[in-house]
Amino acid sequence: MELIVESTDLKDYLKEIDTIDFSHPLIKEIANDLFNNEQTEIEKVKNAFEYVRDKISHSWDIQSTKVTCKASEVLKYKEGICYAKSNLLAALLRSQGIPTGFCYQRLMIFDTPDKGYSLHTLNGVFLRSINRWIRLDARGYKPGVQAEFSINEEILAFSIQENFDEKDYPYIYCEPNYKTIATLEENTNALEMYKQHLPDNL
């Protein structure tokens, strides 16, 4: 799939906004642990991706009711759904001057269409060393879901089942979709939010 950028100005993918608060002391602290000046750009991206994928729990997987949104909040509590985890990955990479955006898929929430659909968030990352965008999904492991860092082929958490009306959107947005952020801000129980209140389209 050919990826489509919302903006051709990479600076738009480096901005600090409320949900991507990379100047926060917690973000700075973990960035100092993850990154150093001897690392290549690709090594930094891989480190950040694997940290968010493996060290930040997905709320549904651990059956937690806590809702996190801002990158610093996700880091503080070490949990969040994909919307929140993508905010943290963007914050970590933008803190290193690596352009990072937001991508979406429309997926069945569970295993059959009658149980509903939701938007799923992943990240688009521009690698200057290879002069192109790649997509990464730091959702985290669960049975049947194993996303990996790769610059040669996409190894995402979910494959699209078009016969079940799932969709893979080709766009890389500069900021998180407003519906996803509003969902995190308006809900107080992550489990109920996940089952009943996730947006199902862009």
Q: Is residue 202 part of a domain?
A: no
Q: Is residue 121 part of a domain?
A: yes
Partners of 58 in beta bridges: 80
pLDDT at 144: 73
Q: What are phi and psi of 193, to 5 degrees?
A: -60, -45
Q: Is residue 30 part of a domain?
A: yes
Secondary structure (DSSP) of the chain: ---EES-S-GGGGS--BTTB-TTSHHHHHHHHHH--TTS-HHHHHHHHHHHHHHHSEETTTTT------SHHHHHHHTEE-HHHHHHHHHHHHHTTT--EEEEEEEEESSSSGGG-EEEEEEEEEEETTTTEEEEE-----BTTB-----SSS---S----GGGT-EE--EEBSS--HHHHHHHHH-S-HHHHHHHT-----
- pLDDT tens digits for 45-92? 999 999 999 999 999 999 999 999 999 999 999 999 999 999 999 999
119 is written with which tokens?
């938007």
- pLDDT tens digits for 84-121? 999 999 999 999 999 999 999 999 998 889 889 999 99
Q: Is residue 185 part of a domain?
A: yes
Q: How far apart are CA 202 and CA 186, in angstroms?
A: 18
Q: Is residue 201 part of a domain?
A: no
Domain residues for 22?
4-196
| Angle, CA of 23, 24 and 29, to the nearest 5° | 95
Q: Is residue 32 part of a domain?
A: yes
Length of the chain: 202
9 is written with which tokens?
């100005």
CATH code assigned at 82 = 3.10.620.30
Q: Is the pTM of this model over 0.85?
A: yes
Give the number of domains in the chain: 1
- Residue-averaged pLDDT of the chain: 95
Q: Is residue 192 part of a domain?
A: yes
Q: Is residue 187 part of a domain?
A: yes
